[in-house]
Amino acid sequence: MSDIPLTARPRLASWARLQWDAIREKQVLLGPEGVLVLNATAAAILALCDGQRSVSAIITELNTQYNHAVEQDVLTFLNRLRQKRLMECDDQE
Amino acid sequence: MGLLAELTYRCPLHCPYCSNPLNLAAYSDELTVEEWSRVLTEAHDLGVLQLHLSGGEPLQRRDLLAIVTRAHELGFYTNLITSALSLTAAKAEQLKRAGLDHIQISIQAADPVLSDGIAGTPSYLRKVAVARTVKALGFPLTLNVVLHRHNIDQVAAILALAEELAVERLELANAQYYGWALHNRTALLPTWEQLQRAESVVQAARVRLAKQMQIIYVIPDYYSRYPKPCMGGWGRQQLTVAPNGDVLPCPAAGQITALPVENVRQRSLAWIWDDSLMFNRFRGVDWMPEPCRSCPRQTIDFGGCRCQAFQLTGDAAVTDPVCYLSPDHGIVADAVRVVNSGIEALPELVYRS
């Protein structure tokens, strides 16, 4: 699968579920394939994946929020989610 | 962490590669719905997030809906692994409302004659119809086909069916040789040539269908150089609760006679997970003999499968004989040699009964 384009507007796959796990005190992303326990950065990225914002908009927004370059983190994480089929986007490829 | 809840070993099918134990009658005293509710609560407290409702055929339990409801309350991602025979549209809709997240339906081949022949009962047409119903209800669907010598040449047709059904995931997993499958191994193991053909068909389909379908393809471990990382490591990520409440690190572990089997009717799930000999015996890497002990792959494949080591050598504490470095590898190599030797008369399949 090719890398996610900057113009894509990612959102969670319909069969994926994001929830708070009280045992681990972390957000977890659940799907048929398995479970991802999310760190703070991953949770912040996912919170912006609403199917409206583009990948580049997400990067810009997080760059401001975190005050450092997050581009690689965002791309790596989103590509991983796409490979695991936990993320969908209306591809502009 | 994931829990495989084997709700019952009752099943309308008779597949000769069934991974259930041969002594099915020993598991007929099934946990009640109240007991399952307690097990699920304890599993949740232990950190389990993924729940696979399996069997046998989980739909044979009349209280399945109550179990799914409880699972959803606890926040599990719940997957129903079913033969689909008795899954009516009304039942599927109820399960959806109760919070079931995902369904996995098995077929035995890509045409009714072969599929019904392997299942030992007319089932194919019904399964395909149920798959359509389930998709129409909006369930994400995995189609699962256990591959072996008699159906592996149909991989292209299976892929076409999966594409037509628009399933999200297709699991093409060669039989693993436990339970009834081990009993029928010579008749089920595909040849090297069959595997190579299937693999090239799968590779092409993966490229063609990359956007719409995830295709999982698992070769028989008898043909791999290294063993599989069974259950992601013993007592590390997965646990199985059998229909009678036995708790096992993997569904086949009950046959390792040297280990006492613990049961949720006597002990808490947390005690069994943390403290039992069953779960601790092969946890981590300290138990490992050579060649695993000094092997850089010990945290990749965890020494392979303990149940397979036990089945093939009588000792669960040796390296999985699948590994080409195992001193017992000859057992696996011989089994592979036999099926590739051009024998015409395969042994007859023994159907699960």
Q: What is the pLDDT of residue A68?
A: 76
Q: Does A14 touch chain B (CB under 8 A)?
A: yes
How many angstroms separate the Cα of B65 from the Cα of each of B12, B33, B129, B131, B234?
19, 10, 21, 19, 31
pLDDT > 70? residue B19: yes
Torsion of CA B77, B100, B234, B332, to 10 degrees: -130
Q: Can you tell me the mean pLDDT for B159-171?
A: 96
Q: Does A15 contact chain B (CB < 8 Å)?
A: yes
The answer to whether the CB atoms of A35 and B50 lie below 8 A apart is yes
**The predicted structure's pLDDT at residue A1:** 63
* Interchain contact B166–A (C-beta under 8 A): no
pLDDT in tens, A9-42: 999 988 899 999 999 999 999 998 788 999 998 9
Task: Write down the pLDDT at residue B122.
Answer: 96
| DSSP H helical ranges for chain B | 33-46, 64-73, 89-98, 112-119, 124-136, 155-165, 179-183, 185-188, 192-208, 269-275, 277-280, 298-301, 306-313, 329-339
Distances from the Cα of A72 to the Cα of A41, A68, A90, angstroms: 12, 11, 21
Q: What angle do CA B335, B341, B347 make, to 5 degrees?
A: 65
Give the position of tokens 């983190």. Answer: A73
Query: Closest approach of chain B CAs to the CA of A4, in angstroms?
Result: 12
The C-alpha of B44 sits at a distance from chain A's nearest C-alpha, in angstroms, of: 8
Q: In the predicted model, what is the mean pLDDT of residues B264-275?
A: 98
pLDDT at A91 over 70: no
Longest dimension (CA), chain B: 56
Q: How far is A32 from chain B (nearest CA, A)?
A: 7
Q: What is the spatial distance between Cα A93 and Cα A7, in angstroms, rounded to a whole number? A: 8
Contacts of B101 in chain A (CB under 8 A): 15, 17, 30, 32
Specify the pLDDT at position B66. 98
Q: What pLDDT is attached to residue A92?
A: 47
**Contacting residues of A for B45, CB less than 8 Å apart:** 23
Residues above pLDDT 90, as percent of chain B: 91
Q: Which residues of A touch B71 (CB under 8 A)?
A: none
Q: pTM of the entire structure? A: 0.93
**At B304, is the pLDDT very low, low, confident or very high (cuts 50, 70, 90)?**
very high
Mutate to test the interface with A, among B41, B77, B169, B211 (most CBs of A within 10 A): B77
What are the CB-based long-range contacts (under 8 Å, 24+) for B33-39?
B33/B63, B33/B66, B33/B67, B35/B245, B35/B264, B35/B265, B36/B5, B36/B7, B36/B67, B36/B70, B37/B66, B37/B67, B37/B70, B38/B264, B39/B5, B39/B241, B39/B245, B39/B264, B39/B269
* B215-238: average pLDDT: 95
Name the residue with tokens 């086909």. B145
What was the pLDDT predicted at A15?
A: 87
Residue A93 has pLDDT above 90, yes or no: no
Which tens digits make up the pLDDT trace of B78-110? Answer: 999 999 999 999 999 999 999 999 999 999 999
Does the distance separating the beta carbons of A19 and B214 come in below 8 Å? no
Say what percent of chain B tops pLDDT 70.
100
pLDDT at B149 > cutoff 70: yes
Q: How confident is the model at residue B339 (pLDDT cuts 50, 70, 90)?
A: very high
Taking the Cβ of residue A67 and every Cβ of chain B, the question of whether any pair is shorter than 8 Å is answered with: no
**What residue has token string 């099934």?**
B30
Minimal Cβ distance to A31: which of B2, B47, B77:
B77
Q: Does B49 touch chain A (CB under 8 A)?
A: yes
Q: Which of B124, B125, B127 is nearest to B135 (CA)?
A: B127
Tokens 């394939």 belong to A33
Note the Cα B39 to chain centre separation in Å: 21
pLDDT for B38 equals 98
Please tell me the distance from the alpha carbon of residue B265 to that of residue B36, in angstroms, as a whole number: 10
What value does the mean pLDDT take over residues B64-90?
97
The whole-chain average pLDDT of chain B stands at 95
Q: How far apart are CA B180 and CA A37, in angstroms?
A: 37
Q: Which residue, chain included where needed, has tokens 């507007």?
A: A9
